Amino acid sequence: MIIEILKSKIHRAKVTQAELNYVGSITIDENLLDAANIIANEKVQIVNNNNGARFETYVIKGERGSGIICLNGATARLAQVGDIVIIMSYAHMDFEEAKAYNPLLVFPDDHNRLLH
């Protein structure tokens, strides 16, 4: 049996931009992507802690070290600059493999930089 489980999570990132007139997606600082093992064009689920919105989109790689978390296109209507979001990626795994898998959890600081 194959199940879908949490692969990785960027926990409590701050939205830095919202660009309505763009072809949908979320732009994420490449440092955060690397830390969470998320790649460009990967599907992610986003939860907005400020308003409860939950939505899915795909990832665009943002400038490394910029701290960017930008909601593009229609998703820009679901958050405001300064909102706190959780960004999650999932993977399909064999049930037994999934039991032993530990997701990568990334906890950025208030400027979306990696805590060391």
Q: Which single residue is written with the structure tokens 């990132």?
A: 13
Q: Determine the Cα–Cα distance for residues 42 and 59; give it in Å rounded to an integer.
A: 6
Q: In what order do the strands lie in the sheet with 84-94?
A: 17-19, 69-72, 25-29, 54-62, 43-48, 84-94, 2-14, 104-106
DSSP symbol at 15 = P
Q: Is 25 a catalytic residue?
A: yes
Annotated catalytic residue, options 8, 25, 66, 89: 25
Q: Which single residue is written with the structure tokens 């400038």?
A: 63
The residues assigned a catalytic role are 25, 58
